[in-house]
Amino acid sequence: MRKKAISKGRSALYLDYYPPISHPDTGKPTRREYLKIYVYDRPRTEIDKEHNKETNQLAESLRAMRQIEIQNQQYGFLSNSKRNGDFIIFFNTLAAKRGGSNADNWSMAVKYFISFAGQQLKFSDLTETFCEDYRDYLLSAPSIGRHERKISTNTAVSYFSKFKAALKVAFKLGYIVDNIGGRVAGIKPAETHREYLLLSELQKLAKTDCEISIVKRAALFSALTGLRFSDIQTLIWDEIRGEKDEYYLQFRQEKTDSAENLPVSNQVIELAGQRGLPHEKVFKGLKYSQVDQYLPKWVFKAGIDKHITFHSFRHTYATLQLASGTDIYTVSKLLGHKHLTTTQIYTKITDEKKKQAANKIALE
């Protein structure tokens, strides 16, 4: 830590690196990093003394942090080009890489962020307070869509989690030097009713024709495996392993990036259709736009009066597994949940079914 005299009896604090480190923007050896903070050379008042004390403590904390970063060969803190880059462009780029139903969600997350932050925002302007203000903005249920509907708490949860995910990537790539996304608390989800199908309703759907057969096969595949749309869409034949009565899926979850081994029934393999080449997609040509268009028609044709989305088939799988007596730990593993608390949401549904069953037996 060194000082450099500036105006009005003050000295700027800077860090002196020796041996020099390579600047990430220019590649040239660099020794100095000015911290943009100062101390009074001769503090006269108690306020001046307190200022010097707090500033020296801050400077020492920065010095210690830089020591760790240099030991780990992380030099992003020196990069002006990264710090002055546009986070909006970065966020948009991440959103553009998403596919399926998740793409729309990311796109809307960016739009709501722009409605709060504006069309441009430097990485250096991202602070913990800024993130907390954005969280409060989303919780105020703004309406920017064409239908001018206010967003729900759980929609706010989704949009803010996308923002935090972008912060995490920005930190890893060195665009921000502080892991603010890890410190800012997320939004607590509100309890919602998760729509699912009864076994009898699932049987009705299985017996009902759908205009696009791939939508029906993929949906029933989800109901019998619990897989998300993203995992079904990207599933390849090489990931279907085993033989009759001992089939299993060996794949990597798109959402969590975790490696999974999932035992499946012979019926699941039948839904997959005729086996293709190892690296060909099982549900080749499946698009979420097809699901949006044909799933509601198929459900209506089957005489089911429920708002069923593709994700409802995953809820159906979890609920029917628990209702049939499968223990919650096993269901959690089958769904690929990292935490048991995520699976416990479904127990509320099965508890209600137990209450209904108990009331069916009564003495006259």
pLDDT of residue 177: 74
* CB count in 10 Å sphere of residue 180: 20
pLDDT tens for each residue of 145-166: 555 678 888 889 999 999 999 9
Q: What is the mean pLDDT of the chain?
A: 85
Q: What percent of the chain has pLDDT over 90?
A: 43
Interatomic CA distance for residues 119 and 254, integer angstroms: 30
Which distant-in-sequence residues (6+ apart) come within 8 Å of 134 by Cβ? 113, 116, 117, 160, 163
| Amino acid 142: pLDDT | 81
Pick the closest to residue 39 from 14, 75, 11, 81 (CA basis). 11
Cis ω before 29 (30° cut-off from 0): no
Please provide residue 218's backbone torsions phi and psi, each rounded to the nearest 5 degrees.
-65, -40
Q: What is the pLDDT of residues 308-346, one digit of tens each?
A: 989 899 999 998 998 888 888 898 888 888 778 777 777
- Give the pLDDT band of residue 347 (cuts 50, 70, 90): confident
For 269-316, how does the pLDDT look when each residue is reduced to its tens digit (9 = 90+)?
Answer: 999 999 999 999 999 999 888 998 999 999 999 999 998 989 899 999
What is the DSSP track for 140-197?
A: T----STT-PPPPHHHHHHHHHHHHHHHHHHHHTTSSSS-HHHHS--PPPPP------
Mean pLDDT, residues 182-199: 83
Element (H, E) at 363: none
Partners of residue 12 on adjacent β-strands: 4, 38
User: What pLDDT is stored for residue 278 in this prediction?
Assistant: 94
- Kindly state the helix (H) or strand (E) to which residue 98 belongs, with its residue range: none
Q: Which of 225, 224, 215, 236 is nearest to 310 (CA)?
A: 215
Tally of residues, the chain: 364
| Cα atoms in the Cβ-side hemisphere of radius 13 Å centred on 115 | 16
Distance of CA 231 to CAs 95, 227, 238, 242, 249, Å? Answer: 18, 6, 14, 19, 11
- pLDDT tens digits for range 53-88: 988 988 888 888 778 777 766 655 655 556 678 899
Q: What is the chain's alpha carbon radius of gyration, rounded to the nearest angstrom?
A: 28
Instruction: Cite the beta strand spans of the chain per DSSP E.
Output: 2-5, 10-22, 29-40, 240-241, 248-252, 259-263
Residue 190: exposed, middle, or buried by beta-carbon count in 10 A (0-12, 13-18, 19+)? exposed
The tokens for 63 are: 């010095």
Identify the pLDDT of residue 355: 57
Q: What pLDDT is attached to residue 212?
A: 93
Which three-class secondary structure state does DSSP give residue 103?
helix
CA–CA separation, 117 and 112 (whole Å):
9
Residue 36 half-sphere exposure toward CB, CA atoms < 13 A: 0
CA dist., res. 3 & res. 288, Å (int): 60
Distance separating alpha carbons of residues 214 and 281, to the nearest angstrom: 12
How far, in Å, CA of 306 to CA of 348, rounded?
19
Query: What is the pLDDT averaged over residues 248-252?
Result: 90
Listed range (1-15, 20-34, 112-126) with the worst mean pLDDT: 20-34
Domains and CATH numbers, the chain: 2-78 (no CATH), 83-183 (1.10.150), 199-358 (1.10.443.10)
Q: Are 207 and 221 within 8 A, CB to CB? A: no
2-11, 245-254, 257-266, 336-345: which has the highest mean pLDDT? 2-11
